[in-house]
Amino acid sequence: MSRQAAKIGSGRPIRFVDAFAGPGVVELGNTLHPGSPIRSLQSVAQHSALRAPINMHFIEQDADRWQRLTQEIKAATPSEGWPKHMVVHPPMQGECTQILRDTLGSYDTQNNPFGPALIFLDQFGYGSVPMDLVKQILSHPQCEVFTFIEAGHLNRFLEDPAKDAGRTAAFGGEEWKDAVNEPAGRRSIRLRQIYRENMKKYGGADLVWDFMMLNDSGTPVCWLFFGTNSDRGLEVMKTAMRRISGNFAYADGDSLDQITLFEGFDEECLARDLVDHFAGEVVTVGAVRRYVLEHTPMVKHANTMKTMRKDGKLKDIGDPKIAYSKAEQWDRKVSFEPKSMF
């Protein structure tokens, strides 16, 4: 998160909103660990590259948890206070959907930009974040969403009609019903695909990337979806996720067999993937960049493309010596060799 903020560098204040903040501690086994508010505060405090002030906001609905959170933040505050670039707002007690809607609405009314902002939505289950909230957030320039879904929970109650309305609100539409017809082992992967598509279709995200957290035995526990309208924003988020890759995995197929740990996917894998996907096509470098960002665990495309040029797997269209401006570089075209039959 702090890396994300450091790259923005617009000079405008940045916001991080932990909207389902919890009590500031998480119990794992019999031990208490710092919860997301404390971890984010400490991470931002340690990050010296931040160029703009960063506002840290926390929302918790439950009164006891909110009180504990207030105490935990107080206890975590360094004796000399937080570094100057941080503005740590007192945690708010209340229902975050309503608070976010009202806040964003008032920024709209005053024609003020709310962003740059990253809104972290770490709900229990799947039913507390309606897709129209995602849309409202992403309609603000430089606002990004990081949302969390417990796939197991969603799956278990998929045929409970009492939860239909909640699911439809979470997905933004009734497409989730398609997953009911899938065999049990494929349901959660199908739900993930639908959610991802719907974040674009109804949530207004230009780019969506998701990954799953695995437990120690390698079973997927939950999905995290990142929605943004900026290629650069996704680049930075993926770079950060790759750094802490331990129990994170990435999947972009329809099958659980295609789950990939970040470490397992290198430039050679990317070159094969690009050949498979773009074989015989002429596309812009911008399209390759987007594909790499959105559909593979990799972040950068340039080195792989360089090797592929050398290996004759792709060619530049036009004169490669022509100097392109930074903006034009994405419009350059390349052609991929056709798929080999052998």
Q: Which residues bind ligand SAM (CB under 6 A)?
A: 20-22, 26, 35-36, 59-62, 65, 95-97, 122, 124, 128
Nearest approach, Cβ of 166 to ligand SAM (angstroms)?
Answer: 12
3-state SS assignment for residue 173: coil
Beta-sheet pairing, 207-214 with 220-228: antiparallel
Q: Please name the residue that has the structure tokens 């094969």.
A: 272
Nearer to ligand SAM, 237 or 314 (CB): 237
Distance CA 290, CA 56 (A): 30
Q: How far is the CB of 122 from ligand SAM (least distance, A)?
A: 4
Beta carbon of residue 274, minimum distance to ligand SAM (angstroms, whole number): 36
Q: How far is the CB of 93 from ligand SAM (least distance, A)?
A: 9
* Residues 6 or more apart whose Cβ sits within 8 Å of residue 316: 309, 332, 333, 334
149, 131, 228, 152 alpha-carbon torsion, rounded to 10°: 10
Using the minimum distance from each CB to ligand SAM, give the nearer residue, 19 or 283. Answer: 19
Q: Which residue has the tokens 């993926």?
A: 238
Minimum CB separation of residue 265 from ligand SAM in Å reads 27
Residue nearest to ligand SAM (CB): 35
Structure tokens at 328: 């034009």
CB-based burial of residue 234 (10 Å sphere; 0-12 exposed, 13-18 middle, 19+ buried)?
A: buried
What tokens appear for 314 in the block? 């792709």
- Of 13 and 34, nearer to ligand SAM (C-beta) is 34
Least gap, CB of 148 to ligand SAM (angstroms) = 7
Query: Is residue 239 within 8 Å of 268, Cβ to Cβ?
Result: no
Is the CB of 125 or the CB of 233 nearer to ligand SAM?
A: 125
Q: How many residues are recorded in the chain?
A: 342
Q: Which is nearer to ligand SAM, 36 or 260 (CB)?
A: 36
Nearest to 207 by CA among 232, 228, 223, 225: 228
Residue 97 vs 188, nearer CB to ligand SAM: 97
Q: Which residues contact 21 (CB under 8 A, 6 or more apart)?
A: 35, 36, 37, 58, 59, 60, 65, 69, 91
Q: Distance between CA atoms of 182 and 271, rounded to whole angstroms?
A: 32
Q: CB nearer to ligand SAM: give 36 or 229.
A: 36
Q: Which is nearer to ligand SAM, 10 or 98 (CB)?
A: 98
Give the shortest CB-61-to-ligand SAM separation in angstroms: 3
39 and 21 in contact (C-beta within 8 Å)? no
Beta strand extents in 123-254 (DSSP E only): 143-149, 207-214, 220-228, 248-250
Write down the least CB distance from residue 15 to ligand SAM, Å: 17
